[in-house]
Amino acid sequence: MCFFKKKKKENKVAETKMENVKEEKAKVNTKSVSSKKLNIENKAVVEKEEKTKKSIYRVVFSKENNVWQIKKDGAKRVIDSKPTKEEALARVKELSQSQDTKFIVHKKDGKFQKKANIR
C-alpha cells in the first residue's frame, strides 16, 4: 500500500507542475494577444493620421517631354502636364482650391522655388 501512496503523491506533484506551466503559458498568450491588439490599434491611428494629412501637389519640369508636370506627393502618375509654367500654375491652383491643399513649385532645373497654401 505504501507503494501506491507514493505514486499518488508523485502524480499530484506532476499535475500541479503541469497546471503551473499551463497558467504561465496562458498569461504569456494573453499578453501577446493584448500587445497585438495594441499594435493593431496603433496602426489604425497612424493610418487615420496619414489620411487626414493634406496632400501636396508639385509643379516640376520634365526634361524628357519638355513640359511642366503636376504631380501629387506619393503618386506614381502625373496628374496633368502643360507646355508653359503659367498654365501649370493655373491648373494646380484650381486643384488645390477645390481640395484645400498646398502646392510646391520648382524651377526648371529642379530646385525649390516657392510653397503656396491656397484657401
CA-nearest of 99, 83, 92 to 59 is 92
Asked if 110 and 59 touch (Cβ cutoff 8 Å), the reply is no
**Top-confidence residue, 87 or 31:** 87
User: How far is the C-alpha of 113 from the C-alpha of 119, rounded, in Å?
Assistant: 20
In whole angstroms, how far apart are CA 70 and each of 43, 86, 87, 93? 31, 12, 11, 11
Which pTM was predicted? 0.53
pLDDT in tens, 44-60: 555 555 555 678 999 99
